Amino acid sequence: MIKAPRGTKDILQDEIYLYQYVEDKFHKICRQHNYTEIRTPIFEDANLFIRSIGETSDIVKKEMYTFLDKKGRHLALRPEGTAPIIRAYLENLIYNQQELYKVYYISPMFRYDRPQQGRYRQFHQLGVEAVGSSSPVIDAEVIKLSCEFLDDLKIKYILNLNSVGCPICRPDYGEEIKNFLKDKLINLCDDCKVRYEKNPLRIFDCKVEECKNILRDIPEIFPHLCKECSDHFNVVQNYLKILNINYLLNKNLVRGLDYYTRTTYEIMPAVESGSQSALLGGGRYDNLVEDLGGSKTPAVGMSAGEERIILHLQKDIIKTKDEIVLFIVTLGEEAEKFALRHLFELRSKGIKVEINSFKKSLKSQLKYADKISARYVLIIGENEIRKNVFILRDMYSSIQREITLSELREGKFCEI
């Protein structure tokens, strides 16, 4: 039998309501912060990601799903949402229309990661991007939005914050990392030896325990930040304090994508559960627009992993499925026609109505209504139609009573 590819899954009815719950909250919170939704293609020119995320990043080196289409174009299933949004921003000349462009997305992403709890090859990100302002106000806004989202979902978390500086001050820090690691190089993994040469900050991405131990004593970036980056970071921290947002300074937080400048942050779950990975991450990327062919335009954003959020939801506080309010038992074709003509309209009043579609006898229909957890059952037969009086049964209390068509239309069955 053909199965879903490794690292992907079908989201079935016992889980989809959690996705809908999380997404509804995200739509709401984004709109409140004046972000509008954007949808970009699932696949893009592979170069978009190579140029933005960086050739030495794990995402580009190991995790990207790339393919040639029938015309030999080198395409990639998107591994993240930021670069496509900047591509769309440039391609649609949005910079001519809007000084500050604030968008959000809820989209599937693809990474050839090693599947485990909370890590998939197709997963969903909920993200925002604010393009056009270098003000720390927007850094604070994006971080606040992230925290509010998790607060709203009642997830406990820890915010890690750092600044990765800019192309002016970062090379200096890169040199210090190299100095620090010079005599430890032999103990680093092969990937880190390449990172050491090509892009020393990428060493922080390493998941090998021995490398992580070596990195524990690595010098901090803060003394290397230029005045502009340092001032910016101080203001961001002040604004977080004004907003009552607690955070930990984390000198090792450089994030796995090359486009970041200045503020970077990651939010981890406060309660450990299985594999320990970030719920969300983001930061500033003031050079990406320029790197992709636009003019210098600062930007900041974040994205959350929906599957990881769902893993940490307190499922018991969420109403599971909407119950079926009214199940219509039909005894014969006349009853079916009557229901179509007079009772389907109840749905437009927001009442969830289901109708018998295959069971024949009254007994088997009642059994089915019970199985699908219908709250009320309405029994329609030829006699009932003639008399315009129907039998309504409350499935919780098993109490039955008679009801007329007009009472039904007025929703009076709920008062049984």
Helices (H), 251-361: 288-291, 306-311, 333-342
CA–CA–CA angle 202, 208, 213 (5° rounding): 85
The nearest distance, CB 145 to ligand HAM, in angstroms, is 12
Q: Which is nearer to ligand HAM, 129 or 286 (CB)?
A: 129
Report the C-alpha dihedral over residues 327, 333, 335, 340, rounded to 10 degrees: 70
Q: Which is nearer to ligand HAM, 166 or 302 (CB)?
A: 302
Q: Which is nearer to ligand HAM, 84 or 200 (CB)?
A: 84
- Write the secondary structure of 87-144 as one string of H (helix), E (strand) and C (coil): HHHHHCCHHHHCCCEEEEEEEEEECCCCCECCECCEEEEEEEEEECCCCHHHHHHHHH
Reading the block at residue 13, the tokens are 């009815």
The nearest distance, CB 100 to ligand HAM, in angstroms, is 15
The nearest distance, CB 64 to ligand HAM, in angstroms, is 12
The nearest distance, CB 60 to ligand HAM, in angstroms, is 12
Q: Which is nearer to ligand HAM, 138 or 304 (CB)?
A: 304
Q: Which is nearer to ligand HAM, 266 or 384 (CB)?
A: 266
The nearest distance, CB 58 to ligand HAM, in angstroms, is 9
The nearest distance, CB 300 to ligand HAM, in angstroms, is 7
Spacing of C-alpha 41 from chain mean position:
16
The nearest distance, CB 302 to ligand HAM, in angstroms, is 5
The nearest distance, CB 317 to ligand HAM, in angstroms, is 21
Q: Which is nearer to ligand HAM, 64 or 385 (CB)?
A: 64
Would you tell me which residues interact with ligand HAM (CB under 6 A)? Answer: 80-82, 111, 113, 118-120, 123, 125, 127, 129, 256-257, 278-283, 285, 301-305, 307-308
Longest dimension (CA), the chain: 94
Q: Does residue 163 contact residue 194 with C-beta atoms inside 8 Å? A: no
Please give the helix or strand (H or E) that residue 326 lies within, else none. strand 324-330
Q: What is the DSSP string of 341-386?
A: HHTGGGGGGT--EEE-SS--SHHHHHHHHHHTTEEEEEEE-HHHHH
CA–CA–CA angle 299, 301, 305 (5° rounding): 160
Q: Which is nearer to ligand HAM, 117 or 187 (CB)?
A: 117
* Three-state DSSP state, 239: helix
Tell me the C-alpha distance between 39 and 30, whole Å: 15
What one-character DSSP code corresponds to residue 414? G
- The residue number whose beta carbon is nearest to ligand HAM equals 305
Q: What is the DSSP string of 200-234?
A: GGGGGG---HHHHHHHTTPPPSGGG--HHHHHHHH
Q: Which is nearer to ligand HAM, 191 or 384 (CB)?
A: 191
